[in-house]
Amino acid sequence: MAYIEFNDSLKVENKLIDQEHAVLIEYINLLQKAVENESSVKIVGQVLEGLTDYTKTHFFVEEEMMKAFEYPDVDTHKAAHEGFKSKLVKLIENYNNGDTEISSSALEFLKDWLTEHILKIDKKLSDFLADKSFR
């Protein structure tokens, strides 16, 4: 069973955003599985790097949509992105500096942050974009 299931409850009904969320969730599932299986430091590090790179790409896409459609709550949304990116970067820095133990609390943070962000902040953006006929 997957650590996080991307199902209808996590869809914001914007095709592009939903596709990207599914990829982010898959990265978190891969990370959890790698940690659970006690995979090599190199493999876990690669999954962390992939998660970080894809997170940056996804946030860039959302922020470009917000800019293009003049989303009124762009600053709050971007601040949430920045907070998450800084925590993810810190996790990778610690990992690369020898703290190779990915704790269950770190995994829970990733899972909880992403699901809450999708359900509250991204849903609000998707609803705004739907009013602009951008689904």
Residue range 31-82, pLDDT digits in tens:
999 999 888 888 988 999 999 999 999 999 999 999 999 999 999 999 999 9
- Whether the Cβ atoms of residue 74 and residue 66 lie closer than 8 Å to each other: yes
- Enumerate residues 6+ apart whose C-beta is below 8 A from 114: 4, 21, 24, 25, 28
Question: Cβ-count burial of 1 within 10 angstroms (0-12 exposed, 13-18 middle, 19+ buried)?
Answer: exposed
Q: Smallest Cα–Cα separation from 58: which of 128, 122, 134, 135? A: 122
What per-residue confidence (pLDDT) applies to 100?
82
Q: How far is the C-alpha of 99 from the C-alpha of 92, rounded, in Å?
A: 9
Domains of the chain, first to last:
12-131 (1.20.120.50)
